[in-house]
Amino acid sequence: MAQVLLYIMWGLIAGTASGFLGIGGAMILIPVFGLIFGLSQHQAQGTTLALMIPPIGLLAALKYYSQGHVNLKIAAFVCLGFFFGGYIGASLVHHVPDAILRRIFGFVMLFVSLKLIFWK
């Protein structure tokens, strides 16, 4: 039961950050799944993708939409690309060793964070 409450707590943290910052929960959950729950990088990424299947962002998106902060045209076309891109990425990732995948993910997070901190 304690483990279930821990999962729910991290879901609340990631969901709140997603709604507040507009980030994908994966930026929080993939490191948490690996570092706290001991999942491999592949398992962490796959689990994160699986939890995105239900409309977890629906309420946050509706709130943003009600305030006039959603461009539906952009969202629709990016969603279409994301739909097929997700399949392509999932097909390719199985050829990458876990340690290399973890490093790639870490470098992407590092690059994005440095870009946000030091550049316009």
pLDDT digits 0-9 by tens, 80-119: 887 888 889 889 998 999 999 999 999 988 998 998 899 8
Is residue 10 within 8 A of residue 92, CB to CB? The reply is no
- Structural domain range at position 13: 2-118
Rounded-to-integer distance, Cα 120 and Cα 2, Å: 43
- Rounded CA-CA distance 12/44 in Å is 17
Half-sphere exposure of 63 (CA within 13 A, CB side): 10
| Residue 7: closest CA among 23, 40, 29 | 29
**Secondary-structure breakdown of the chain: helix, strand, coil percentages, each rounded to the nearest 5:** 80, 0, 20
Q: Which amino acid is at 59?
A: L
- Distance separating alpha carbons of residues 73 and 37, to the nearest angstrom: 38
Per the confidence metrics, is the pTM higher than 0.85? no
**Residue the block writes with tokens 């994908």:** 24
Q: What sign results for the dihedral spanned by CA atoms 33, 16, 58, 112?
A: negative
Give the per-residue pLDDT at 55. Answer: 65
Domain tally, the chain: 1
Average pLDDT over the chain, rounded to an integer: 86
d(CA 55, CA 61): 10
- Ranked by mean pLDDT, the top range of 27-41, 48-62, 73-87 is 27-41
